Amino acid sequence: MSDEKDQNAAPRSPFLEEKAFKSRTVLVFGTIDDKLAADVSKRLIALAADSKEPITVLVSSPGGHVESGDVIHDIIKFIDAPVNMVGTGWVGSAAVNVFLSVPKERRVTLANTRFLIHQPSGGCGGQATDIAIQAREIVKVRERIAGLIARESGQSLEKVTADIDRDYWMSAEEAMEYGLVSRIIVKQSEL
């Protein structure tokens, strides 16, 4: 029996699925969870097996589960086909980790995209020792995310660590100045 979320999801059109595959385009839209990570990974692997031509990934996501974002990030690095990353709408939190999986020259954004970087959050509960373990793990993830953003943006680790202490929003222009994206585009032909 499918859950309510699946029942309310728009049915997939075989025609649109085929067109997306032929255009070598993958969408990372919505909350990043294990289901989205599995779907995106399958598509990337299939496209890379089909051809070594570039794949375009469009990202519009508030983020989600860090490790699910890590799956997509790692699969993009794992496949042989080059990937062009295009930000649209908003690229936040774990979606930034996905976005930063490609070299800077392959990271572009549409003009009205907003970017959000911040430290990970988590709900801790249980016994005091379990809460302490969870807190240590969140600190490790924060350090890893700060390192990734610093490395890929060219900002200092100290600046990124300070910036992600709270929500840090950027327009497309500000994200370009920060080093998250190489350029702002308007048309697909500009890829």
Q: What are the catalytic residues?
A: 93, 118
- Within 13 Å, how many C-alpha atoms sit on residue 153's CB side? 25
Task: Judge contact between 28 and 56, C-beta under 8 A.
Answer: no
> 177 by DSSP, 3-state: which?
helix
Pure H helices in 79-156: 94-99, 128-153
Cα distance between residue 46 and residue 75, in whole Å: 12
Q: Which two tokens stand for residue 157?
A: 């680790």
| Maximum alpha-carbon separation in the chain | 55
Q: Cα separation of 26 and 39, whole Å? A: 10
Structure tokens at 107: 């990271």
